[in-house]
A and B are shown apart, each in its own frame.
Chain A
């Protein structure tokens, strides 16, 4: 009987096109976020990811001001900011402070743009906290194309990126162009942040880009298993979040944020693995 009820609940949910769209868009974005976020966590650059999303807010509101779709403003600003941050990273001695100041400035500009384009203000909430239930087919197609570009670019630099993240001094000695790799990575993060913001909003990109990979790294220490688990966690949290929202009428982004936090703290509470693993056991 439980089975029947569950099946009904799910089929019922998919009777609506907006729900199908939400699942498709959230699925695409969750996989990209989980995978890109894994490297963000590995490199200890989560704050940079957070900053990029805030800078994107100024871009999105600015785009609205000149009559463009917010996504393009978001993309343009985060990409430009990511590339500038990558190029400057070695010169800014105290990165956290510089990033913090720039992200506050960007939010300020976002507010200014909203001020001059008052009718756009209704969309401010959607930008800040996401509105996955309003996604249409065009947006899904756009997100899919962006996802392919993001993952292809990441695949192209993945090997030197891992080397440069784990051992920058040795990577430099072996001929890895450190600055190019870090700049390219921040550009990839910018793409992922722009996609992620379409689902959970610029303020909550941590829920899909940091929560799932951080949880995955508590559970497994292997590279590929970590990447797969991170993407799986993000996907599960996104889809379960939408399902939960459908049945409770709570905002989707709230549900995803709760699941992301629960997932992370549950993994944190698990006994650490691999402390005394027997020799010879692979994976």
Chain B
């Protein structure tokens, strides 16, 4: 079976900075991949490259054995930055409908088939009642669910979820993970799920893709979440502490996942780091 996403010595740059340098890894079809790493490590950039918005400057990137194509219907995408105008009185159905063939010119249309497909997808994520409610009346969790339903429209084979847990409370985070796991397992969809927190995803993910310092390491949690691997990715000494089924990634006694300050600090230092010795 061909890989869902395969990088072969790929370098991806933004503004002259290598976000990924000479990275090679291969994600199998149907895998649930947790994408982790400090802020600025390139989680969003990798997804944009897979979407065909940012071609690699060296090496190759293959999505289902082809070069990435902008607008690929095989990919469902939930962007990290999600503009929702504060007083948007558009109902959920029309919101999702806007994304269906939204790149075509002319008048919008909503066929009976489209409507049935939208309602079926809303059902799948348990959000049928959002079809007729305006976005402005929805809670953060409900909007997230609507966006997730939208990403699933058109039966994608690959789902790119960029920080889908941000701005959700703990309960809704768990619900979101459960919904993604259930739907994607049923349909055999490959998932790249980027997050700040590893522990919530432990029971769900097949493998972890950890990004940092221009490098990427793909493997099981036991292979990747280790002091030597993460120390190389963060470019600083990292301890991994396991306690009661949880894993804590610490730097000098502080939890790096919950410390944004440290992320920024590491991010700033990541600019100059171009040592490619660790894969």
A interface residue numbers (CB < 8 A to B): 42-44, 155-160, 162-164, 166-176, 217-218, 221-223, 226, 272, 274-275, 277, 279-282
Bound complex: CA A66 to CA B252 (Å): 74
Partner pick for A221 among B91, B99, B115, B150, CB 8 A cutoff: B91
Tell me if B83 and A168 are in contact (CB < 8 A): yes
Whether the Cβ atoms of A170 and B71 lie closer than 8 Å is: no
Chain A residues in 8 Å Cβ range of B85: 42-44
A223 touches B90 (CB 8 A): yes
Which of B132-140, B203-211, B232-240 is near enough to bind chain A? B132-140
| Residues of B with C-beta under 8 A to A221 | 89-91, 94, 132-134
Task: Answer whether residue B63 sits at the interface, using C-beta atoms and an 8 A cutoff.
Answer: no
**A174 / chain B contacts, CB cutoff of 8 Å:** 70-71, 99, 102-103
Given contacts A223-B108, A274-B132, 17 further A-B contacts (CB under 8 A): A42-B90, A155-B107, A159-B101, A159-B106, A163-B103, A164-B102, A166-B88, A166-B98, A173-B77, A173-B79, A175-B70, A175-B103, A176-B102, A218-B89, A222-B91, A274-B134, A279-B129
| Least CB distance, B147 to chain A, in whole angstroms | 8
Contacts of A281 in B (CB 8 A): 132
Q: Is B278 positioned at the interface, with any CB of A under 8 Å from its CB?
A: no
Closest to B137 in A: A275
Check A156/B137 contact, CB under 8 A, given A42-B90, A221-B90. Answer: no
**What residues of chain B lie closer than 8 Å to A156, measured between beta carbons?**
105-106
A163→B99 contact, CB < 8 A: yes
A160 touches B137 (CB 8 A): no
Can you offer 21 A-B residue contacts whose CB atoms are under 8 A? A42-B88, A44-B85, A156-B106, A158-B107, A159-B102, A160-B103, A160-B104, A160-B105, A163-B102, A166-B95, A166-B99, A167-B79, A167-B82, A167-B99, A169-B79, A173-B48, A174-B103, A176-B103, A221-B133, A222-B94, A223-B90
- For residue B67, CB closer than 8 A to chain A, the reply is no
Select one of B97, B98, B105, B137 contacting A274, CB under 8 A: B137
B132 & A170 in contact (Cβ 8 Å cutoff): no
The answer to whether A159 touches B82 (Cβ under 8 A) is no
Q: Mark B118-161, 1 if CB is under 8 A from A, else 0.
A: 00000000001101111001000000000000100000000000
Q: What's the Cα separation between A172 and B71 when bound, in Å?
A: 9
A221 to B89, CA, bound (A): 6
Note all chain A residues with C-beta closer than 8 A to B91.
Answer: 221-222, 274
Bound state CA distance, A176 and B131, in angstroms?
24
B102 & A160 in contact (Cβ 8 Å cutoff)? yes
Smallest CB gap from B129: residue in A: A279
Chain B interface residue count: which class?
35 or more
A71 to chain B minimum Cβ distance, whole angstroms, is 28
Contact of B99 among A43, A155, A170 (CB under 8 A): A170
Whole-angstrom distance between the Cβ of B101 and the nearest chain A Cβ: 7
Question: Which of A163, A164, A277 sits near B133, CB closer than 8 Å?
Answer: A277
Which residue from chain A places its CB closest to the CB of B70 in the assembled complex?
A: A175
Which of A160, A166, A170, A274 sits near B77, CB closer than 8 Å? Answer: A170
A32–B129 Cα distance when bound, in Å, is 34
Which residue of B is nearest A157, CB measured?
A: B105
Judging by beta carbons under 8 Å apart, are A169 and B82 in contact? Answer: yes
Q: How far is the CA of A166 from the CA of B108 in the complex (A)?
A: 13
Q: When the two chains form their complex, are residues A277 and B129 in contact, meaning their CB atoms are under 8 A apart?
A: yes
Determine if B81 is an interface residue (Cβ-Cβ < 8 Å). yes
Min distance, Cβ B212 to any Cβ of chain A, angstroms: 24
**Chain B residues whose C-beta falls within 8 Å of the C-beta of A175 in the assembled complex:** 70-71, 103
> B151: nearest residue on chain A (CB-CB)?
A170
**B166 on the interface (CB 8 Å rule)?**
no
Question: A171–B102 contact, CB under 8 A?
Answer: yes
Q: How far is the CA of A272 from the CA of B108 in the complex (A)?
A: 26
Cβ–Cβ < 8 Å partners of B129 in chain A: 277, 279
B134: A residues at CB distance < 8 A: 221, 274
Q: Is B35 among interface residues, defined by CB-CB distance under 8 A? A: no
Cβ of A158 and Cβ of B106 under 8 Å apart? yes
Residues of B within 8 A of A160 (CB): 102-105
Closest 6 CB pairs of A and B: A163-B102, A175-B71, A169-B79, A221-B91, A221-B134, A217-B89
A170 to chain B: which residues have CB within 8 Å? Answer: 77, 79, 99, 150
**Measured CA separation A11–B85 after assembly (Å):** 46
Task: Report the minimum CB–CB distance from A118 to chain B (whole Å).
Answer: 45
B218 lies within 8 A of chain A by Cβ: no
Flag whether B183 is at the interface (Cβ < 8 A). no
Q: Which residue of A lies closest to B105 (CB)?
A: A156
B-side contacts of A176, CB under 8 Å: 102-103
What is the minimal beta-carbon distance from B91 to any residue of chain A, in angstroms?
Answer: 4
Assess whether B105 is in contact with A167, with CB atoms less than 8 Å apart.
Answer: no
